Structure 1
Amino acid sequence: MGVKKALHWLLGVSAWALAQGVLAQAPVSTTDDDGRIVSLPRPAQRIISFAPHATELIFAAGGGAQLVGTMRYSDYPEAAKAVPIVGDAHGLDLERIASLQPDLLVIWPHGNSAAQLERLRALKLPMFHSEPHSLAQIGDTLRRLGVLMGTASTATKAAQAYEAELLALRARYSQRPPVAVFYQIWHQPLLTVNDQHVIGDVLRLCGGRNVFGQQPVLVPQVSVEAVLAALPQALATSTGEGKLDEALAPWRHFKHFAPLAKQAVIAVHGDYISRHSPRILVGARRICEGLELVRQGQPVKQAP
C-alpha cells in the first residue's frame, strides 16, 4: 500500500471511529409498546429487565452485554442466567436496583404489580413498557429496543428473521378452514384470552377461532359451563414442560367434551407461548400443526 493510499485508509478509519463515538453519545428516542415516548441522552449502557420475555427481547436485539439486572426466571438465552436477579413477581430489591445505576428499565405493565411499578417510578429513571399486543409488534419492539440500546443493526436483522418466519406461518395456516379453539391459560380458576391478547393473535395465525375472542377482558375468567356451551373443537394450553398434567382436571368428568373425546388437546411449553419474544413462534408452530391434525380428524400426539 502506497503512502497516499495508507493516509486515505487511516483517515477513513478515523472518520468511522469518530462517527461511532459520536453515535454512541448521541441522544436516542423512540416509543414503547404503549405508545409512550422514551428518550435517552445516549444509548442505554446499563439496563434492567423486569420480565423474562423482556430479557429475551433485549438479548435478541443485541443488548445482552448492557443488561445488568433481571427478574427471576429470566433463563434464556443461557447468558441470561449469569445476570444478577433483582426481584420476582412477589418483590423487588430496590436497594440493589439503585446500586446497579441503570439508565433504562424495561418493564412489563401487566406482569409487574401496581405496587412494584410505583416503586420503580419513584426512581425517576427512563422506562420502556414492553408488552407486545400482536405477533407483528414483537418485530417492531426489537427495532425500537435496538434504537434505545444503540444496537439497531443487530435488532433489525433479528426483527427481519422473526418476520420472515411469521410470514411463512401466516401464509401456510391463516386461511385454513377455521377450528373453534378454547385456549386455557390456567385451570383453577379457569382463565382464557380474548382476541386482543397476543395468544389470540397466535390462534388467528393458525386459522383458529377463539371461542372467547369477543370477551371485553384481556384475560377473562370463565366457567366450565361456558366452555362446554361454546363447543370448542380443540383445547390448547401451556404447561411447565409441554406435557399435560393437572391442566385437564376440569374436563375429565365430561366424556363427551370434544377436545378430550377426539384427542384434540394441544399442549405447549409455557416458555414458547407465554413469553412475548421471538420464541413465541415455536409455540405458534406447535399450535398450527396441532390444529391441522384436528382438521384432518387425527389425534394430536403430545411431546414425550
Structure 2
Amino acid sequence: MSARRLLADAARRLADAGVESPRVDAELLLAAVLGVSRAGLLTAGEVPADVAHRFAGLLEQRAARVPLQHLTGTAPFRHLKLAVGPGVFVPRPETELIAGWVLDRIAGLEAPTVVDLGSGSGAIALSVAHEHPGARVVAVERDAGAIEWTRHNAAARAAAGDTPVDVRPGDMTDPGLLSELDGTVDVVVSNPPYVPEGARLPREVADHDPPLALWGGPDGLDVVRGLVRTAARLLRPGGWLGIEHADQQGGSLPALVRSAGGWAEVADHPDLAGRPRYTTARLDRQ
C-alpha cells in the first residue's frame, strides 16, 4: 500500500479513537518505522508489507492511548532528542519555555550552577548543559524508575560531547538535599508534581506517566511548598527560582512563594497559548 493511503487511513483511525493530533501522530509513527524524517514521507512510495504490519501494530497502541513518545522511543525538547518510555514523565513542549528562561538568567555567567529538581528525562538539565557548556548542572530525581532515564539521557549527551550533568537520587523536599551547595546555586528550576488530587487527566497521562511526577496533594502544591524551602537554602543571594505549574495555579503558586518570605520579583509567565505556565522569583536574602 502507498504511504499516502496508509496515512489517510491511519489518521481516520486515530481521529475516531479521540487522539488529539491524528494526522501528525500517524506521520510520526510511519516515519519511525520507515526510518526517515517526517519530511521524508513526502517522497515515500509503496510501503513494504512487513513495515506496514509494524505500523499497524503501533497504530493500534496509539489508538489505545499509549503515548506517541513511548512508541517512537524519543521526545524532542528544544535542540535535543531524549529517550523516553514507561516509567518517566514525557517532557512537554511548554516546558521548553522555562528551560529558555533558565538560559536567559545564566547567559552572562561564565560558570553558573544550576539545579534541576525532579529532573525526570533530564530535559531541562540537559538542555542547559547543551546550550551553556560552562554551566555546572545537577539533576535530582526521586523516582527509582525515572532516574534510570535521567542517567541514560545524561550519558548519551555526555558521549555526544555536552558538558556532563551530575545526576543525583533525592527528594526535592528533603531538608538535607545537596547541603554541600547551600548558598551557592545561581538557579533552581523544577517541573514538580503539581496535579491536584481528583483532577481528570488524559489517558496518556493518567495511565502512563509515573504517579510521583503528577500528584501534588489536595491543591497540587504540597511538593512545591517543600521545594520553595529547598530552593531558599540552595540559592545564593540574588539567585533565581523557576517552577512550572498547572494552568489554574497562576495565582496560587506566586502567592505561595510570596507568603514564604525572602523572595523578590515574584512573577508568573504564560505559555505560547497564553495560559499561566511558570512562576519565577529572586532570592532577596543578603
Report the TM-score range of the alignment, normalised by the length of the smaller protein: 0.3 to 0.5
Q: TM-score, normalised by structure 2?
A: 0.35
| Structure of larger gyration radius | 1
Q: TM-score, normalised by structure 1?
A: 0.34
